[in-house]
Amino acid sequence: MLVARPIVTYRQPFGRNTMFVIRLANGEEVQGGDSDGLEINQETGVLTVSRVDGFEEITTHYSPMAWLSVTHRKKGTGVRPSLISSAR
């Protein structure tokens, strides 16, 4: 039975501390940065990468057979150091 799942979207523009890496089956890597977008269709497994190059937006689709893994990193999240000195 096929269960419909929503599309997971990491939409541009990313924050300055965010990036993603797609490892392809042929050994290549696709890296995304601040102005790139990543969408994952969980029904089909198709990855869509959107990039702005000058005045054009370039969209590339990767079939599930083309990619091995996707890593989406967001730096700067989590616990921030205290701004108050611990020395009293």
Q: What is the pLDDT of residues 33-65, one digit of tens each?
A: 877 888 888 889 899 999 988 899 999 999 999
Q: How far apart are CA 71 and CA 42, in angstroms?
A: 15
CA dihedral 12, 66, 69, 29 (to 10 degrees): -70
Peptide bond preceding 13 in cis form (omega within 30 of 0): yes
Q: Specify the pLDDT at position 18.
A: 54
Which pLDDT belongs to residue 61? 93
9 pLDDT tier (thresholds 50, 70, 90): very low
pTM of the entire predicted model? 0.61
HSE, side-chain direction, 13 A CA sphere, residue 20:
25
